[in-house]
Each structure stands twice: as structure tokens, then as C-alpha cells.
Amino acid sequence: MTAGRLDAVLLDRDGTVNVKAPEGDYVTQPDDLRLLPGAARAIRALNDAGVPVAVVTNQRGIALGRMTEGDLAAVHARLAELLAAAGAHVDAVFHCPHEEGVCACRKPGPLLLERARDALGLADLRCSVMIGDALSDVQAGLAAGARTVRLSADPRAEAAGGTVAPTLLDAVSELLAARAAVA
């Protein structure tokens, strides 16, 4: 990963911070949310280093009627609760509630990341990193001008110009080590 400044880290949610529901299903209730091993530790490390963290997540389940905005708010409250129990927090959460192909905010489009950039008070995302488990996360990061990390147990996974790490904790550890090396 590229050494240097780290203004913010933008995280996909499902499959990056929490266990992804089986294909075709969605995390629709607070009790459905389970953090991935090491995810809270990774976010806390970013918090301890003073790096802002935002979640940017597609939530198509709303458009499909499988959940409401209220359900999603309850899931995100549970996420905040689980992170807080580990001494961690995210600074902001942004979501796209739309069906595929009907909006500008759904990743791989960059609008959610641009909203995070603005909310975090950043001039741009060149010194920030988008981390996610899907190619669409990487594509959104690149479209917004951010560096990217794709999470995959397969080091040969397509990274589309970014890097690959097996877990969020591995990615964050590398980012923070690279940042410290130039400090």
C-alpha cells in the first residue's frame, strides 16, 4: 500500500465490517448484525490514530421492501453499540436505498463517497482509502479519487488498480504502518 498521509478511511459495511447475509438476503434487523473478527479492533486503531472513519453502504433491501429506513437506522444503532463495546466508533454512515441502475449514489458510483468527503470536511479523497469486499467498492473509490483496498482471502482477487488484503484488520494495520513510516 502507498505510504503517506491518511485523511480518512471509508468502509463498505456488509462483508467488510459485518458478516454479509447469504446471497439474496439482507441484514434487516439489529440481531442480524454480527461484526467480522477483528473489525472493531481495526476501527478502534483508526480512531486511536485520529483517522476519521465513515461507512458507505448500498442498502438495496429498502428498495425491494425487505426493510425500512427505520430498520436500517436500528441496524446502524446496533453497529454503533457493538463498536462502542470495543472502544470504537464510526464518524458517519451513508447509505444508498435504491435499486440498481436508478440513482447516482449507488456504488460503484462515487456519490456516497463524495457525501462522506463533504461531511468529514475533506477537500478531496486523494489521501483517503476506500476499503470493501466487492469490486464495486473499489470502483467507487477510484471514481471518487481515493486509494482502494479490496478485502479477499484470495491475494489474486481483482483489485482494479488498488491493493488486496485478507481482512479489514490486515488492511488497517498496513495503512497505519505505512503512515507511521513516513511520519
Span 107-146, pLDDT tens digits: 999 999 999 999 999 999 999 999 999 999 999 999 999 9
Residue 60 lies in a domain: yes
Average pLDDT along the chain:
94
Residue 157: predicted pLDDT: 82
Phi-psi region of 174 (alpha: psi -120 to 50; beta: other; left: phi over 0): alpha
The residue range of the domain holding 143 is 8-182
Residue 139: predicted pLDDT: 95
CA distance 109 to 139: 8
Q: Euclidean distance between the first and final Cα of the chain, in Å? A: 16
Residue 183: predicted pLDDT: 67
The residues that are catalytic are 12, 14
Residue 101: predicted pLDDT: 85
Q: How many domains does the chain have?
A: 1
Residue 1 lies in a domain: no
The per-residue b/e assignment along 18-55, b for 16 or more CB within 10 angstroms, e otherwise, is: bebeeeeebbbebebbebbeebbbbbbbbbeeebbbbb
Asked if residues 61 and 26 have their Cβ atoms less than 8 Å apart, the reply is yes
Residue 92 lies in a domain: yes
Residue 2 lies in a domain: no
CA distance 110 to 132: 14
Residue 161: predicted pLDDT: 77
Q: Residue 152 maps to which CATH number?
A: 3.40.50.1000
Residue 51 lies in a domain: yes
Residue 34 lies in a domain: yes
Q: At what angle do helices 168-182 and 39-48 cross, to 10 degrees?
A: 20
Q: Which residues of the chain have pLDDT under 70?
A: 1-3, 183
Q: What is the largest CA-CA distance in the chain?
A: 48
Asked if residues 164 and 152 have their Cβ atoms less than 8 Å apart, the reply is yes
Residue 3 lies in a domain: no
Residue 3: predicted pLDDT: 54
